[in-house]
A and B are shown apart, each in its own frame.
Chain A
Amino acid sequence: MIVIIAAWEIISKTDLFPAFMWPPLFIPNVPGGPTVFGTLINGLITGQILNATGVTLGRMLLGFVIAIVLGLTFGYLISRYKWIDDTLGFFVTALQSIPSIVWFPLAIVWFGLGFVSILFIVTIGATWTMTVNSSTGFKNVPSLYINAAKTLGSSGGHLVRNVILPASLPHIISGLRVAWAFAWRAVMAAELLGGSGGLGYLLNVGRSIQSMDLVLAIMIVIGVIGTIMDNQVFLRMERSVARKWGTRT
């Protein structure tokens, strides 16, 4: 890590690339010149980067929640009814292989350039993988649990909430994790193309004013948030389930 930072710093000091293409990380090339961390701190203080992060996370979360609800619903229907599995199930596998940003031209025509289009891209990016994971989870609930619950008087909604959902939790969590990663990529791509605030939009601004220090600062923010979500949120969820179930020591 230190080696990479040092190498970056040294390259920025040589005249190999112009400063706007390869901005220094910490030490400015000319007194008062731009650095990546300077821009990052500045952006956080003035609220430019912070606001953009808020806008992006807001969209992202809304799309993610919609995708989870849709994914769980589709997943349940696919696991429950054979004919839905044969029709929608196959379709979902096909849809899953389409990168969600491909939907963007269609989204612009349908919803116009802006918030709804971006939301659409995020949602569609996360829904299919969530559907696939949750239907696998639901299908693999051991019939032993279901039979045991039924003889103890559970049925219908109670059975779904208290047995089928918790029994497929390991699959659902890994679904959430992948869905988040997909949605995260989707929101960046959509904002980069579709504008109107957010980190992706800011990246585009950075590009147009040839301020690579801003671009790199935003990339750091994106990387940090992505890592935090994966390590602190989803990995922890997976671990706590594994500990409870005793599937990992």
Chain B
Amino acid sequence: MKVTLENVHKSFPKGKSEKLEVLRDIDIQIKEGEFVSLLGPSGCGKSTILNLIAGLDKPNSGSVKINGELVKGPGTDRVVVFQQGGLFPWMNVLDNVTFGLRIKKMTRQEAEEKAMDALRLVHLGNYANNYPHELSGGMKQRVAIARALVMDPDVLLMDEPFAALDEQTRLILHQELQEIWAKTGKTILFITHNIREALTLSGRVLLMSTRPGQVKSSFTVKAARPRDPSDSVIVHLEKKIMGELEEEMEKVLKEEFGDDYRFKTSAIRDRDHSRMGDHI
């Protein structure tokens, strides 16, 4: 097993004495070379799971292991691609990509060669000397992916990397990420709240329930690659997951807007005027 999470619990302090339980009893196993998506509504703790694996955060109990070894802190065997990319604005593209390699005491020349290879893989070979602000959102994410790949990590962690992009760019990057995965055979954990995205990219989708976050169900996507969104397998799974997600959505919305909230069924019918404004 490449990545193993066993009985992981995580809660954050909320106010003075209260605690917010974010993750309860998480068990996840990811095999070498697997592409797994973690799908769930916002606030279900999926990014927390990623942070635990990345070593940026520690679980309250339970264990997180990579290759059977306990995760003690951040390490270059697990590199993260963040939603906002996290490129350093004071460095050009090439320096951003070589950043991690230079820490590994690699010579500048060797690092730059590797970086250029990675940049060509994401079709940005001509932008090595540009600064991040000169790139579009999609290009920034490509650089972030190159910066992660160049480290040759055991596990690539992706935290909603395409969530901030427009639809067309996202579709293109979906294609490219599939190609990169096929080429490099990396183990990838992909976080998203987009069902279509999860089904297009991954071999397995883990659906999370919310507050406290738990893995609710697991779906193996047995569709041919490159994936076609109109593939009957995908359409069927999409419906199934949508159904399960709706329950979760209702739970979240109730928490946010109060008990009167009904997802799908109209709330107008049983509106009680005497209680108006109670939940504001």
Contact = CB atoms under 8 A, between A and B. Distances in A.
Interface of A: 144-145, 147-155, 158, 162-163, 166-167, 169, 241, 244-247
Contacts of B87: 148
B100 A153 contact: yes
B181 interface: no
Determine chain A's interface SS by DSSP, over half rule.
helix
Interface in B25-73: 54-56, 73
A166 B157 CA distance: 26
B79 A152 contact: yes
B103 A244 contact: no
Contacts of A151: 54-56, 74-76, 78-80, 157
B99 interface: yes
A145 B55 CA distance: 15
Determine chain B's interface SS by DSSP, over half rule.
loop
Given A152-B99, A152-B151, A245-B89, A144 B84 contact: yes
B103 A154 contact: yes
B48 to A, nearest CB: 13
A136 B48 CA distance: 28
List the 7 closest A-B pairs by CB distance, nearest first: A246-B133, A148-B86, A152-B100, A150-B74, A153-B76, A153-B103, A166-B90
A162 B98 CA distance: 13
A6 B99 CA distance: 60
A245 B133 contact: yes
B82 interface: yes
Contacts of B56: 147, 150-151
Contacts of B133: 245-247
Nearest to B153: A151
A147 B76 contact: no
Given A148-B80, A150-B74, A152-B151, A245 B90 contact: yes
Contacts of B100: 152-154
A153 B78 CA distance: 10
* Candidate in A147, A149, A152, A241 with the most chain B CB atoms within 10 angstroms: A152
A241 B89 CA distance: 10
Contacts of A144: 82, 84, 86
Contacts of A145: 86, 88
A169 B88 CA distance: 12
B104 interface: yes
B142 interface: no
A147 B73 CA distance: 11
Interface string B132-168: 1110000000000001000100000100000000000
